[in-house]
Structure 1
Amino acid sequence: MIKATAVDKRIPQTLDLAADLVVVGGGLSGVCCAITAARAGTNVILVQDRPVLGGNASSEVRLWVLGATSHMGNNNRWAREGGVINELLIENMYRNPEGNALIFDTVTLEKVVSEPNITLLLNTAVYDLEKDAEDADKITKVIAFCSQNSTRYELSAPLFCDASGDGILGFLAGAAFRMGAESSEEFGEKFAPTAEYGELLGHSMYFYSKDVGKPVSYVPPSFALDVTNKVPRFRSFNTQDFGCRLWWLEYGGRLDTVHDTETIKWELWKVIYGVWDYIKNSGEFPEAETLTLEWVGTIPGKRESRRFEGDYMLIQQDIVEQRAHYDDVAFGGWSIDLHPADGVFSEKPGCNQWHSKGIYGIPYRSYYSRNVKNLFLAGRIISASHVAFGSSRVMATSAHGGQAVGMAAKICAENNWLPADLARKENILILQNELLKNGQHIPGRTLKDQEDLVQIATVSVSSTLKLTELPEEGEPVPMEFATAQMIPVGKGKVPKITIHPYAAEALEVGVELRMCSRKDSHSPDVLLEKKTIALQKGRNCIQLDFDTQFSEPAYAFLTIQKHDKISFRLSQKRITGLLTVYNATNPAVSNYGKQEPTEDIGVDNFEFWVPLRRPKGKNLAFKLEGGIDCYDAENVRNGLQRPTNQPNAWVADFNDTDPMLTLSWPEVQELKRVELFFDTDYDHPAENVLIQQPENVMPFCVRDYQVLDERDEILFERKENYQTRNVIDFETPIKTSSLKIKLTHPSADSPAAMFEVRCY
């Protein structure tokens, strides 16, 4: 038994913990920061004030994770973020293709607790800190309290990261921050909002419904709003939308989005229960008779509050012009997505999205405080203007930046550097290379790894696919949209292209050869040649011969004008780095086929050419005279792990029954580690919740492989792989003069492909 004598006052149990890095905030940016740092050997304390990890992606909020892929609704091809966030999304897709938010909680939690270098503190809120007695610009300790175990924590470290969303650590530390929108004059941003539109994005709450198979009545609570009187867009509500498809259930942009959050939550509850009253009791939705309200969020998903100032502030022009920075360590690609401050009560559309022509780099200098010397920033609070924040705030982009911070913290800890020291031009390449090794794509950067033994090996393969044909299969499919086949071409002239349109009658149709004006981007905005071809009724065999000479490898777009009397047979073959795109619309991301600003707001005018989601997303059948050699084995050491201006992969021939890549050295090498990067289709968004995925393993991904030595002895074997990055650590170093990697084709329709192999 415990018997305590009466005292005047007690304090909670206090625990002192120390680490190399304390990360405050367990959303995806904090999670990816902590995992990245921990895997690199850094001791991390991860502090989360909620009972689950994931932040807005958790089962408490249930927002889907998105970033540069933008629901496949923009021209950012192969743009899903790499590294840990990619690993999480691919793992979730494998286990949870139905998009259950609770399962994603377990995926995220498992990844964190599996790391021995992470100490996880859930339900623990930071409320105070201490600074260095001799340097008031450095944090030495943060103080937090866990409501569940009534424990006070004092957490010490040389480095701290604020990934808390509202920036509680930066706020307590006195870090310079902003809240609200800059004027257009400050940074020359033409899209800076007016006072009428408002300066802050609000919070959102979601609900789920369930069909129970019998009539269900609903009596609303007394606080439910009459949405027919209060919500201008009340007619947009329907029984089919639930979860984060109701992203526009938003409020709070005219309030203090930090300290008024409880007020905002109550207003959103009033709206949600009023919405359900309207759906159940208005008589407008007879199909809702058997529906019940299954789940309503209890905390709002936050969009915007504080933004902290770093040594660089990302602005609109960085995004639109895709400006390169010497210290780029992450990328974004979501539209500049600003919302009216009045949210669901506004007469204006729920969002105002403007896309760039491709992904843009985010500099390292945006990821640390300019005045608190040992404070990193991650997530939506990074150094960005309000307009740029409209793009950089989304979760996959935030997580990608969190990974950069995690690796930066490891390098700073090793070298006894402060965050700003790493930003020096002579140091930043260290961080960029370490990120690239881990699969973190950085626009315009290629990995240069002097320790990689593959760079000094002779590379040979059992076969290489020559792109000559995608055969016709199935019935002809009508042209619903203008169609473009992306073809990876090298220097010189495009091979003659043969297509087989099916015409309902004799007619003419326009075809064009296009390319993108920006390297490594994929908006076909440059017209190279145009032809008009005559078609006869029935199947036609058309050979197209273009005169254009390409000065460097790029993607050419063979575009075919939309015509409702033309059909094409598609091909079942799916090959790495090969896509058919369409001048299609995707209203979910303000893509209506073409971006046409009606006034000068500093964004580009261009067409959207996007692929279709699988199972529809197939390639146009075509033939190339002489073929194209773009899948050479040298691609596995070119420093790129995804398609850019070329596929950047070695792909085996379809007819190769035993695909194999061999690395040979003139002398025996001692190998401790082998890393392989496979194709998990970076063009697919892999949303974590709500959207049901078409498969749980990407069709391009090599499932089975073996690694053998010079005596053909199996050193390692994996079955049923589904992840991008495969790391093989040998318990005892292997001594060999050659290494063989045997692959199995993923299917009869997708040949084995590999982006990269590295040996250490």
Structure 2
Amino acid sequence: MTQLTSAPETDSRPLRVERLEADLVVVGGGMAGTCCAITAARAGAKVVLVQDRPVLGGNAGSEVRLYICGATYLGHGNNRWSREGGVLDEILVENTYRNPEGNPVIFDTVLLELVSGEPNITLLLNTAVCGVGKADNRISSVEAFCSQNQIWYRISAPLFCDSSGDGIVGLLSGAPFRMGAEAKEEFGEGFAPSKEYGALLGHSIYFYTRDTGRPVRFVPPKFALDDITKIPRYRSFDTSENGCQLWWIEYGGRLDTVGDTEEIKWELWKVVYGIWNHLKNSGDHPDTENLTLEWVGIIPGKRESRRFEGHYMLHQTDIVTQTEHDDAVAYGGHPIDLHPADGVFSEHQGATLIFPPGTFHIPYRCFVSRSVPNLFFGGRIISASHVAFSSTRNQATCAHMGQAVGMAAALCARDGLEPAELLAADHMRELRKELLKSGQHIPGVPLTDDDDLVGSARVSASSEYVLSNLPADGPMLRLDRSRAQILPVGPGRLPQVSFTVDVDAPTTLKVEVRISDRPDNHTPSEVLAVTEFDLGSGAGQLVKIDANVTLDDERYVFYCLMENDHVAVRSSETRLTGVLSVFREKYTQELDEVAGVPYMELWCAEKNPHGRNLAVVVDPPLRPFAAENIHNGYTRPTSKPNAWLAAPEDESPTLKFSWTSAKRIRAIQLSFDTDFDRPMLSVLVPQEERTIPLCVKKYRIWNGDELVAECVDNHQTRAVHTFDPPLVTDELVLEVLESNGSGAGAVLGVSCYEA
């Protein structure tokens, strides 16, 4: 029997109203909001995540398709091992494993699976916030409407995070904000843009093409831009570029980037279809004959709109001088990246950059409203100047900041605190500790955790890797550009280091020994020694560097073989945690004291799996892989590898943890090496390795003769094993059986927690 629902005529009908309550309401499901919600939920908070789009990810999702990038800056810079940690790392590693092709639709599923699998998260998609309730200057609730189910939501909570990109909650709550660029004088920012350059970054819309194997005709829509010469760089179009490689198709910086978004979108559509019409029909690009326009973005990717005022405003000096903050809970490292307001129609180059010498602190004060006491900010709307924003706006940095907010909110909910109260020293120590335990990295801040039983254990290893040489089993690399091997060296006199070179004509090879200005920076800015070698023609010549230099601390030393077209250096196929080679980019950042731009050479690593170390002999050998590294507070390379690695001949690598009395262990956390030097771009750029070779794949945990945990196919950075009932033991053994590549794989951290 057919069922029928009918309703009689009436003057009006109300929408269905659904009331929800939570500990934290996160508005905005981009990377910042997603990582904020997951972090808070895992820390025990009840979260409602409100997203006005049908998928998560914001600019990273399939609607815009921008790859996630942050401190690694696509690998084109000096920030070694700087990929963001925590939830974002988990997402990027999982996406690389499942989606090495960079399919944006598959990336959507990675985010949706993670969020939907968290029992503490209520996810509302297609739901836009359009009202805020306040009491005593605090936000008490938000109102939101879902266009798909026609439900009106009233969501109450003691805490709110606005990570909506345009700051809808901050706007409606009356929190102070800014749009545009500050004057140079306010923060002493020499890089503040002129009026002619423009005070806002615009939006972009991307497109993808596909080769059909046969000629394809294109008839442009009537609204397509018909005068391609309005775009100054139209002659430089590359028909092989797709998606966010076309980031410079930008517009809107002279308009209201919130209120005029629809106008900006239409102009960008005109530009995109005008560009494609030119490529297909001008006759200047015959290689487009078989190409079809596969996809054009339906919404623009926004860069900039409102920035809200917190208890501190990050600015240019914080970035270029790497200001240290006692309340740092996140970091950045992407260059300051300003774009001309006229975008694609500008005569200026598409972007103007300042590379910082290393990663920089982002303080907690930037995430807390100075006027609305229970409002956090996440993502690009945090408290930062226009200049500083142009560095922190990048998605990986936004996600990293969102994680910090999520943990802060969970602690506030647990302890009944206001966000600003976490600035007290004891609360800030707790926040930082919990962030670091969850996989977050804060430069220069080690994890100090009295609850971790490994701190009271005797830790021993079956063996450790001694770095005496990297075998010369790789191809010759010509010194058509300067190349350097980075080695982790301890305090004392530098070891003698030797390289093998082939020389095709008599020449003089210059070798420089360099370090960075800070142990945890990786910009080789200080020259310790220079040696010149007069070389005759011939293969297999040994170049020995014996610099009479003494170091006061552990740090990386760069052995730089300077550019010489007559010389090639032998490389090595051996890959080790925290050991790599770099090459000098042709670009040099010139000093500009007026604009606040530091001089900097860029030394970049080859993208793996193609990156190779230089073959080297070290005398005396280096010992950077000792067992005690697994509890030094760092779970990635910083000023040294911070890893335990067994000797290659060790057939059964083990770590043993012994206590003087029995412990009741409820959880064991392990950290492995998924190559934090690798950007792991989420879409568009294929990943040639689904798993990271240095990451431990197979391991076992033993309590005496009892096997208490085993994993046979790990690819993630972190693994947690819980025990109910708790393990009762005075000795545990971690047995590392196999990596995802060659060798046993490195262990970067082990923690044990008592019941």
- TM-score of the alignment, normalized to the shorter chain, above 0.5: yes
Relative to structure 1, the CA distance from residue 167 to residue 471 in structure 2 (aligned partners, 3 Å threshold; closer, same or farther) is same
Distance 2:506 2:654 in 1: 49
Partner letter of residue 307 of structure 1? R
| CA offset digits 1:118-160 (Å, max 9, x no partner) | 000000000001111xx1x200010000000000000000000
Match of 1:179 in 2: 179
1:654 to 648, 657, 665: 648
* 1:380 alignment partner, SS class: helix
State how 1:412-561 maps to structure 2 within 5 Å: 412-538=412-538, 539-561=540-562
CA 1:609 to 1:94, structure 2 compared with 1: closer, same or farther past 3 Å?
same
Where does residue 613 of structure 2 map in the other structure? 619
Alignment partners' CA distance in 2, 1:3 and 1:215? 53
Q: Deviations over 1:250-281 (max 9, x none)?
A: 00000000010000000000000001100100
Correspondences of 1:34-49 after superposition (within 5 Å): 34-49=37-52
Match of 1:753 among 739, 746, 754: 746
Contact 2:695 2:740 in 1 (8 A): no
CA contact (8 A) 2:663 2:729 kept: yes
What secondary structure does 1:165 align onto?
A: coil
Match in the other structure for 1:718 = 711
Native 8 Å contact 1:227 1:271 kept in 2: no
Q: Deviations over 1:525-550 (max 9, x none)?
A: 00111110122322211222111100
CA distance in 2: counterparts of 1:426 and 1:196, whole angstroms: 48
How far does residue 224 in structure 1 lie from its aligned partner after superposition? 0.5
Partner of 1:736: 729
| Equivalence for 1:97 | 100
The aligned counterpart of 1:87 is: 90
- C-alpha distance in 1, partners of 2:492/2:744? 27
Question: Can you list the C-alpha shifts for 1:567-622, whole angstroms capped at 9, x where unaligned?
Answer: 1121110000001011024xxxxxx2x11145621021011111111232000000
Residue 679 of structure 2 aligns with an amino acid whose one-letter code is P
Task: Give yes or no for the alignment of 1:15 onto 2:8.
Answer: no
What does residue range 133-152 of structure 1 map to in structure 2 within 5 Å? 135=136, 137-152=137-152
Structure 1 consecutive aligned stretches of length 4 or more whose deviation exceeds 6 Å: none
Instruction: Pick the aligned partner of 1:117 from 117, 120, 129.
Output: 120
Provide, for residues 336-361 of structure 1, a one-character-per-residue CA deviation record: whole Å limited to 9, x for no partner.
00000000010110110111000001
Verify: 1:370 aligned to 2:364, yes or no.
no
CA distance in structure 1 between the aligned counterparts of 2:692 and 2:732, rounded to whole angstroms: 27
Indicate the RMSD between aligned Cα atoms, in angstroms: 1.0
Give 1:191 shift.
0.4
Shift, 1:426, TM fit = 3.0
Q: After the TM superposition, which residues 343-382 of structure 1 pair with which residues of structure 2 at under 5 Å, given as runs?
A: 343-382=343-382
How do residues 312-323 of structure 1 correspond to structure 2 at under 5 angstroms? 312-323=312-323
CA contact (8 A) 2:29 2:49 kept: yes
Q: 1:91-240 residue pairs with structure 2 within 5 A?
A: 91-132=94-135, 135=136, 137-240=137-240
User: Please, which runs of 5 or more residues in structure 2 have no aligned partner?
Assistant: none
Matches of 1:268 and 1:475, distance apart in 2: 47
- The counterpart of 1:631, out of the listed 603, 609, 625, is 625
After TM superposition, list the pairs within 5 Å mapping 1:246-261 onto structure 2.
246-261=246-261
Q: 1:34 to 1:62 in 2, by over 3 A?
A: same
How far residue 694 of structure 1 moved from its aligned partner, in angstroms, is: 1.6
Structure 1 residue 750 displacement after superposition = 4.1
Cα distance in 2 for residues equivalent to 1:439 and 1:387: 29
**Partner letter of residue 189 of structure 1?**
E
Which whole-Å CA distance do the structure 2 matches of 1:618 and 1:600 have between them?
A: 39
Comparing 85-94 with 606-615, greater Cα deviation is found at 606-615
TM-score normalised to the size of structure 2? 0.98
SS at match of 2:533: strand
How far apart are the structure 1 equivalents of 2:748 and 2:75? 22
Measure the CA separation in 2 of the matches of 1:615 and 1:449: 36
More moved, 313-322 vs 598-607: 598-607
The amino acid across from 1:721 in the alignment is: N
What letter corresponds to residue 753 of structure 1 in structure 2?
A: A
Residues 27 and 51, structure 2, Cα contact 8 Å, conserved in 1: yes
Quote the Cα distance in structure 2 between the aligned partners of 1:545 and 1:3.
91
User: In 1, are the aligned partners of 2:70 and 2:396 still within 8 Å (CA)?
Assistant: yes
Contact 1:582 1:610 in 2 (8 A): yes
Q: Could you tell me how far apart the structure 1 residues matched to 2:637 and 2:474 are?
A: 28
Q: Deviations over 1:311-355 (max 9, x none)?
A: 010000000000000000000000000000000010110110111
Amino acid in structure 2 at the alignment position of 1:17: L
Counterpart Cα distance in 2 of 1:642 and 1:206:
35
Give deviations 1:8-61, integer Å, cap 9, x for gaps. Answer: 222110000000000000001000000000001110000000000000000000
Aligned counterpart, 2:597: 603
**SS in structure 2 opposite 1:755?**
strand
2:35 alignment partner AA: C
- Spell out, residue by residue over 1:158-200, the C-alpha distance to the aligned partner (whole angstroms, 9 max, x if none): 0000000000000000011000000001111110000000000
Aligned residue for 2:696, secondary structure, equals coil
Figure out how many residues of one structure are paired with residues of the other and give that number: 749
- Work out the CA distance in 2 between the residues paired with 1:227 and 1:268: 14
Q: C-alpha separation between the residues in 1 aligned to 2:101 and 2:181?
A: 38
Provide the C-alpha distance between the structure 1 equivalents of 2:102 and 2:747, rounded to a whole number of angstroms: 28
Deviations 1:695-714 (A, max 9, x none): 0111110110001102x211
Shift of the 474–552 alpha-carbon distance from structure 1 to 2, 3 Å rule, reads: closer
Amino acid at match of 1:410: A
Q: Which runs of 5+ in 1 are unaligned?
A: 586-591
User: Comparing 337-346 with 473-482, which one deviates more in the overlay?
Assistant: 473-482
> Aligned partners of 2:479 and 2:40: how far apart in 1?
49
d(CA) in 2 for partners of 1:178, 1:252: 17
Structure 1 Cα separation of the partners of residues 521 and 497 of structure 2: 23
How far off its partner does 1:499 sit?
1.0
CA deviation after TM superposition for structure 1 residue 474, in Å = 3.5
**1:384-395 aligned within 5 A:** 384-395=384-395
1:74 corresponds in structure 2 to 77
Corresponding residue for 2:670?
A: 676
How far apart are the structure 1 equivalents of 2:362 and 2:290?
49
- Distance in 2, matches of 1:542 and 1:248, equals 45
Deviations 1:677-727, CA, capped at 9 Å, x for gaps: 0000000000000111120111110110001102x2111110111100101
In structure 2, what is the Cα distance between the partners aligned to 1:198 and 1:476? Answer: 48
Return the alpha-carbon distance in structure 2 between the equivalents of residues 406 and 649 of structure 1. 28
Matched residue, 1:588: none
- 1:431 alignment partner, SS class: helix
Partner of 1:2: 5
Matched, 1:697 2:691: yes
Match of 2:578 in 1: 577
Are the counterparts in 2 of residues 227 and 234 from structure 1 also a CA contact under 8 Å?
no
Quote the Cα distance in structure 2 between the aligned partners of 1:684 and 1:750: 20
**Is 2:479–2:562's contact at 8 Å kept on the other side of the alignment?**
no
Measured after TM superposition, the shift of residue 464 of structure 1 is 0.4
Please give the alpha-carbon distance, in whole angstroms, between the structure 1 residues aligned to 2:61 and 2:174: 29
Query: Could you give the per-residue CA deviations for residues 656-690 of structure 1, whole angstroms, max 9, x where no partner exists?
Result: 11110010111111111000000000000000001
Distance 1:693 1:629 in 2: 32
| Cα distance in 1 for residues equivalent to 2:340 and 2:251 | 9
Q: Deviation at 1:479? A: 1.8
> 439-448 vs 533-542, which deviates more?
533-542
The answer as to whether partners of 2:703 and 2:732 remain within 8 angstroms in 1 is yes
- Secondary structure (helix, strand or coil) at the match of 1:609 reads strand
Secondary structure, counterpart of 2:476 in structure 1: strand
- Give the CA deviation at 1:749: 4.1
Contact 2:144 2:154 in 1 (8 A): yes
- 1-side partners of 2:497 and 2:6: how far apart? 88
Aligned to 2:637: 643
Find the residue that maps to 2:564 and give its secondary structure: coil
